[in-house]
């Protein structure tokens, strides 16, 4: 069996399983084959006509089997691509999602404008998980001070390891604690992708999320907004006068978060930005 044939076979199995709701069969079959063979994408494509090495057949079969049982590909390979960086991921933290790249893009655009007046911007990523947002921002904002917080010490250890691998450890300060509580200085930009799934929705989520990702990273309480509301209400004392707050939200939470934000920041400019699927995705508050 050639590598191309092994790929086709895996894609067929993935496509036939309706319970893999979030799977992208072709891409995931490739990532798992790359992982089994220790190849990057270009190397894999150059060798598609080669025979599958006999000692790797079973390895690939096992990886495919784990995926078919529901385990997310990033937890199997231990890697996830996010924005323009690659991160190590483990079940200690949620897997970074492509829709969160909108938050990074928007924060970078805002930071670019503000950096002229405040060259040493302080940007805080609350609930950093594996460090995805904080590290993507650090890679693009060399003069900013980046602070990343999380309540989970396991997630922070993972994020710290990612910072070291990406050569960004000296630029990002990791603090453990509840929301903005560990912060010791005022912030210019606060970004956060906090848990926003409604508790009652948990059992209806795809198996790859429900059975593998940490619930405390995704469950936002009965209305999904318990943690976001606490962040908003606790934010005013730590924000500089012209600060901005960017929060990822669920597609149906726009009106509720705008009402909350207007209550806490009655004089601020408040908007909700849609993602590529035209769904509400980002709350932007500018003081």
Ligand X SMILES: C[S@@+](CC[C@H](N)C(=O)[O-])C[C@H]1O[C@@H](n2cnc3c(N)ncnc32)[C@H](O)[C@@H]1O
Which positions touch ligand X (CB under 6 A)?
A: 93-94, 96, 100, 126-129, 132-133, 149-152, 155, 178-179, 193-195, 216-218, 227
Residue 133: CB minimum distance to ligand X, A: 5
What is the rounded CA–CA span in Å between residue 266 and residue 193? 23
What is the rounded CA–CA span in Å between residue 32 and residue 250? 30
Residue nearer to ligand X on the CB measure, 241 or 277: 277
Residue 183: CB minimum distance to ligand X, A: 11
**Cα dihedral value 24, 27, 31, 33, nearest 10:** 100
DSSP string, the chain: -BHHHHHHHHHHHHHH-TT-TT--HHHHHHHHHHHHHT--HHHHHHTTTSBPPHHHHHHHHHHHHHHHTT--HHHHHTEEEETTEEEE--TTSPPP-GGGHHHHHHHHHHHHHHTTT-TT-EEEEES-TTTHHHHHHHHH-TTSEEEEEES-HHHHHHHHHHHHHTT-TTTEEEEESSTTTT--S-EEEEEE----B-GGGGGGS-HHHHTTS-GGGTB--TTS-HHHHHHHHH-GGGEEEEEEEEEE--TT-HHHHHHHHHHH-TTSEEEEEE-TTS-EEEEEEE-
List, in sequence order, every residue forming a beta bridge with 124; answer none if it has no partner. 147, 190
Residue 286: CB minimum distance to ligand X, A: 21
Residue nearer to ligand X on the CB measure, 110 or 227: 227
Residue 62: CB minimum distance to ligand X, A: 27
Residue nearer to ligand X on the CB measure, 63 or 132: 132
What is the rounded CA–CA span in Å between residue 249 and residue 224? 9
Residue nearer to ligand X on the CB measure, 74 or 254: 74
Residue 4: CB minimum distance to ligand X, A: 33
Residue 79: CB minimum distance to ligand X, A: 14
Residue nearer to ligand X on the CB measure, 64 or 217: 217
Residue 205: CB minimum distance to ligand X, A: 13
Residue 49: CB minimum distance to ligand X, A: 38
Half-sphere exposure for 139 (CA within 13 Å, toward CB): 20
Residue nearer to ligand X on the CB measure, 152 or 162: 152
Residue nearer to ligand X on the CB measure, 151 or 260: 151
Residue nearer to ligand X on the CB measure, 183 or 194: 194
């Amino acid at each position: 069996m050639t590598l191309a044939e092994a790929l086709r076979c895996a894609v067929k199995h993935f496509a036939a399983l309706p319970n893999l709701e979030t799977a992208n069969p072709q891409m995931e079959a490739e990532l798992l084959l790359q992982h089994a063979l220790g190849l990057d994408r270009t190397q894999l494509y150059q060798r598609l006509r080669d025979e599958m090495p006999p000692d790797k057949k079973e390895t690939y079969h096992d990886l495919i089997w784990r995926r078919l049982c529901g385990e997310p590909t990033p937890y199997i390979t231990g890697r996830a691509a996010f924005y323009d960086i690659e991160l190590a991921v483990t079940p200690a933290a949620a897997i970074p999602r492509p829709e969160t790249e909108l938050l990074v893009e928007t924060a970078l655009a805002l930071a670019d404008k503000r950096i002229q007046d405040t060259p040493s911007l302080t940007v805080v990523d609350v609930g950093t998980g594996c460090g995805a947002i904080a590290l993507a921002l650090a890679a693009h904002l060399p003069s900013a001070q980046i602070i990343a917080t999380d309540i989970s010490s396991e997630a922070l250890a993972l994020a710290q390891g990612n910072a070291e691998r990406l050569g960004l450890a000296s630029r990002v300060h990791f603090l453990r604690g509840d929301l903005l509580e560990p912060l010791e200085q005022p912030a210019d930009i606060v970004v956060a992708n906090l848990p926003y799934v409604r508790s009652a929705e948990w059992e209806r989520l795809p198996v790859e999320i429900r059975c593998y990702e940490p619930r405390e990273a995704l469950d936002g309480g009965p209305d999904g907004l318990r943690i976001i509301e606490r962040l908003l209400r606790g934010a005013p004392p730590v924000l500089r006068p012209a600060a901005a707050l960017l929060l990822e939200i669920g597609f149906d939470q726009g009106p509720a978060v705008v009402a909350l934000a207007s209550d806490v920041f009655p004089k601020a400019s408040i908007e909700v930005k849609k993602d590529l699927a035209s769904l509400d995705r980002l709350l932007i508050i500018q003081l």
